[in-house]
Structure 1
Amino acid sequence: MSSPKEKIEGEKHAEIGDAEDLDKTGESAATVNEIMIIDPDTTELDLNHGRIGKMQNLEPLHNIERLYLRWNFIKKIENIETLTTLVELELYDNQISKIENLGTLVNLEMLDLSFNKIKEIEGLEHNLNLKRLFLSSNKIHKIKNVQHLKNLELLELGDNKLREIENIEDMSSLSYLYLGKNKITKIQNLDTLTNLKCLSLQSNRLKKIENLDKLVNLTELYLSENILTNIENLENNTKLETLDLAQNKITSIDNLGHLTELEELWMNDNEIADWASLQNLEENKKLATVYFERNPFAQDPMYRPKLRRIIPSLTQIDATLCH
């Protein structure tokens, strides 16, 4: 006998057809009961790419733990108050403008509302068990109404309209913080996030590496596509394994010798012209992958052999493996 998921997938392939022909307004969208028969005992329901325009007829799902509604035409979170067993809810790439009607979902651990039309973080007052919250590619201007989420381990707010890192000081459980592709001008208000392992601030407006000294557990730091001119203030980040400083305005490699755990260094598309500064990487004995292409010094015809002499541990230079 086919599983509930297999039945749903089969019905989607047989009945839904090509969603590209649909009006994106949702006027031609289906409802849940039009594309499937709900098995009330299912714990996982995949309705991705289902042409669904409205959340309804989900009440029979008294055991549901994971509900996936990616790539639909849903405009409102609704009619899920009875789904109290939900642990994961995905509404990625819909047309939702407000976070609402989640108050009874007290067991929710993962919520994905990326690629919607949300302007404000709200409606999460009772979702205290959340561990992962994805809100990338919305229209959010301010980080707020998340401080109470003490169990949150991952917060994704990339590709929004943020100008400041704020209102996350009490979120000491955070391990992964993604704030890339915003309008942030300063690294700040992170001192209390001592469990942070990964920090992404790519594609912002940062001029200086600063205020990271308390983040002693960082293993990944992504600062590409900013306007940085110097490598500095990483003295306490000795656990760093990956450092991405690509596409900035850095002219010299400095202050990295103490990063003895560093394995990957991305510095392509900067302004490094002098080979002498490359000697500063001799102390990074674990360095295996570097990206230096489109720096002035990388025009040297002996670019790869020279790099390998300076850093014998390399296994990859730019996109090419070393032999």
Structure 2
Amino acid sequence: MSIIIPGRYELVNRKYTVISKDILEPDVSKDLNDLIKYHILDISGNMIEEIQINSITCFFSHITELYFINNELKEIPVEINNLTSLKKLYLSKNKLIKISNLDKLKDLEVLDLRANRIKEIDCESLNQNLNLNYLTLSNNQIESISNLPLLVKLHSFFLFSNQISDFNQFVKDLVSKTPNLSKLLIEGNPMLSGSSDYKTILKSNLKQLVTLDFNHC
């Protein structure tokens, strides 16, 4: 039994492989006059590989939260980038290989990209998402965060189980890119192998840090 959350519209486990206006219309037609009341859309647990232009935006252009967990996306669709009111975007457990098509989401505060196949953060990945306060990239293949833009509002940054190997550079990047960070998760990266004092180093460099790898600082 799913939990009823006020304002959430569910299209979960519908076995969609493609999202288009024609595919969505039969499933939302009974609620057309009430769709404006919903600010959360959940299309998790399908097999979606493609989202066509003018599909979600045709019915849900106003939503502020999108849950698209456990699907088959290999890239972030342009259609998601057109949901310009989004504040929270959940895309974990897809097959994404890069971070793209987020530049219009200037109000985005929460971005969940866990458990994908992302290898790098390129120079333009998040440079328009300056209101982010929560970013999780855990369980990917990321080797560096050097291209991360300055995110002064970012408080929570989760990078568990990636491929970051240069600890000194990582610390420099955190200090310069995320100066107000309070929660950090980095266990499961090669840079920590044999390192016993990494927590002390991070605490001394990140003055706002409160939680590090699930432990209170």
TM range (shorter): 0.7 to 0.9
Residue aligned with 2:98, SS: coil
Query: CA-to-partner distance for each residue in 1:293-313, whole Å, 9 max, x for gaps?
Result: 010112211111111122121
SS at match of 1:221: strand
Given candidates 225, 242, 250, the residue that maps to 2:142 is: 250
In the alignment, the residues of structure 2 paired with residue 201 and residue 312 of structure 1 have an alpha-carbon distance, to the nearest angstrom, of: 31
Determine which of 179, 184, 187 is the counterpart of 2:76.
187
Whether the 8 Å CA contact 2:49–2:73 is kept in 1: the answer is yes
Range with bigger deviation, 135-144 or 298-307: 135-144
- Are 1:179 and 1:201, in contact at CA under 8 Å, matched by a contact in 2? yes
Q: Which residue of 2 aligns with 1:175?
A: 64
Measure how far apart 1:132 and its partner are. Answer: 2.1
1:149-228 pair list within 5 angstroms: 149-166=35-52, 167-170=55-58, 171-188=60-77, 189-228=79-118
Q: CA deviation at 1:172?
A: 2.2
Once residues 171 and 13 of structure 2 are traced to their aligned partners in structure 1, the CA distance between those partners, rounded to angstroms, is: 37
Residue identity in the other structure for 1:176: E
Task: Report the residue type matching 1:202 in the other structure.
Answer: S
Corresponding residue pairs, total? 198
* RMSD (Å) for aligned C-alpha atoms: 2.1
- Structure with the bigger percentage of helix: 2
Are 2:165 and 1:279 equivalent residues in the alignment? no
**Residues 4-15 of structure 1 correspond to what in structure 2 (within 5 A)?**
none
Cα distance in 2 between the residues matched to 1:308 and 1:206: 32
Structure 2 gaps of 5+ residues are: none
Work out whether 1:319 is the aligned partner of 2:214: yes
- C-alpha contact (below 8 Å) 1:263/1:289 kept by paired residues: yes
Q: Distance in 1 between matches of 2:208 and 2:9?
A: 38
AA aligned to 1:247 is: N
**1:192 shift after superposition:** 2.4
Structure 2 SS opposite 1:279: helix
Q: Distance in 2 between matches of 1:247 and 1:282?
A: 23
CA contact (8 A) 2:133 2:154 kept: yes
Q: TM-score, normalised by structure 2?
A: 0.83
C-alpha contact 2:91 2:114 (8 A) present in aligned 1:
yes
Name the CA distance, whole Å, in 2 between partners of 1:213 and 1:229: 19
Tell me what 1:265 maps to: 157
Q: Is 2:126–2:149's contact at 8 Å kept on the other side of the alignment?
A: no
Tell whether 2:172 aligns with 1:308: no
Spell out the pairing of 1:285-300 with structure 2 (5 A cutoff): 285-299=179-193, 300=195
Residues in 2 aligned to 1:287 and 1:203: alpha-carbon distance in whole angstroms: 25
| Letter of the 1:270 counterpart | N
Q: Which amino acid aligns with 1:310?
A: N
Contact 1:169 1:191 in 2 (8 A): no
Q: Secondary structure at the match of 2:111?
A: strand
Query: What is aligned with 1:54?
Result: none
> Normalising by structure 1, what TM-score?
0.57
5+ residue gaps, structure 1:
1-69, 71-91, 94-109, 113-129
Structure 2 equivalent of residue 134 of structure 1: 10
Q: Which structure's CA Rg is the greater one?
A: 1
**Contact 1:297 1:303 (8 Å CA) reproduced:** no
Kept in 1: contact 2:14–2:46 (CA 8 A): yes
For 1:94-133, what aligned pairs fall within 5 Å after superposition?
131-133=7-9
What's the offset of the Cα at 1:151? 4.4
